[in-house]
Amino acid sequence: MALAAGFSYGRLGDFIEQGAYYVPPMPTPDMTITDPNMRDKVLEADYRERSKEMKKLEVKKPMLYAFIVIKLSLDSEDELKRHNDYNIFNTSKDPLQLWKALESLHLVTTVSKNAAYVLRQAENDFMTCNQGEHESITKFKERFELKLKAYNAALGANNHLSDERAAMVFLDKLNRTPYGQFYANETNIINADPSKVPKTIGDVYQKAKAHVIIGTSTKPNGTPVPFATTAELLLKSSKKKTPT
C-alpha cells in the first residue's frame, strides 16, 4: 500500500510508513548568491513554491482517502464503519486518521474484541516471529516491527516494550544459520559489559547487515580457499533456484 500510495500521490503517501504527513522543508537563504536583493527574491520564490506544494498535498488528501478505501475488502470496510471515530475522519476525508484506524483494526490477527484475548494473540504473534531460513534481514525487520507494533498496541500506552528489550528480542530471533556467530559475539559482549546492550532494533539491524562471515571454498584441485561474505549475501546464494 505504501508503494502504491507513493507511486500515485508522491510524498503524501509517506504517512503510511512514517506515521505523519510529509511537510516540505522551510526554504533557507542561498548564501552562494552574493547580491542580497537577488538572494531575497530567490528566497521569496522558494517560499511561494513551498506554499504551492503544501496546497497540492491538501488537495490530494481526499483522493488518497478514496484510493485506500477502494482497496479494502467488504469485511474490512464494514469493520471500519464501526470504528468510534469513523464519522469524524470520513467527513474530513483524512487519510492519516483512516490509516491509523485500519492499523488498530488489523494489526492483531484475531476478530475477537476481548482485550485479554487480543493481548494473548498479539504476544504470541510477536514472540513466535522468527527470521525465516531464506528471509533477508531487511524483510524480517519490517515484519518484526509490525508484530511489535501490534503487541505494544495490545499492551496499552503505559506498558510498551522498551526499545532495549525489543532490540534484544530481535537479536534472539535472528536465524542462526547466517547470524549464529554474530549472535554469539553480541551475546558475549553484552554478558561481559551490560552497558553494551543495543539501544534499538536499528542498532542490531545495522550491525547484523554488515556482519562478515568467513567461509571456505576450494580451488579446482581441491585446495581450501578462505573467503569472506556478508550474511545477506549468504542468504541470497543459499536460496534454491527454481527450475526453468
Is residue 112's pLDDT more than 60? no
Higher-pLDDT residue of 60 and 74 is: 60
Cα separation of the two ends of the chain: 31
Query: For the purposes of burial, counting CB atoms within 10 Å of the CB of 150, is it exposed (0-12), middle (13-18) or buried (19 or more)?
Result: buried
- Regarding pTM above 0.85, the answer is no
Q: How far apart, in Å, are the Cα atoms of 13 and each of 59, 71, 138, 139, 157? A: 13, 15, 21, 20, 26
pLDDT tens-digit profile of 133-192? 888 898 889 888 888 888 888 787 778 889 999 999 999 999 998 899 999 999 999 999
What pLDDT does residue 225 have?
Answer: 45
What pLDDT does residue 159 have?
Answer: 82
What pLDDT does residue 242 have?
Answer: 45
